[in-house]
Amino acid sequence: MNFWYATVQNYLQRSITFHDDILPAIAGVAQKFQQRTGFHYKAGLWMEDFHRGLLWQSDGLIIHAISTNNPPWSWTSTSIPWK
């Protein structure tokens, strides 16, 4: 799972033109990870590591979530870097 979280953090440091494209853009990486692990992926989180996936926190103040398409409890709802 560390590989996944490092990949996501690296990805979020890039310039993202349309924030709602985060999940579709990272879907290819998630699909390969799913094929290798057999884990189940939903809204940017892995069900087998769901508790850890919910423990993200931002590196700054989040005034509001910028995405209306992604769940507010997921890291996909904000563009602020997280850890």
Q: Which two tokens stand for residue 1?
A: 């799972």
- Of 34, 11, 14, nearest to 23 by C-alpha is 11
pLDDT at 66: 57
Contacts 24+ apart (CB under 8 A), 59-67: 59/83, 66/19, 67/19, 67/20, 67/22
Confidence tier at 31 by pLDDT (50, 70, 90): very high
When computed from its CA atoms, the radius of gyration of the chain, rounded to whole angstroms, is 12
Model pTM?
A: 0.66
Tokens of 48: 């087998």
pLDDT(62) > 90: no
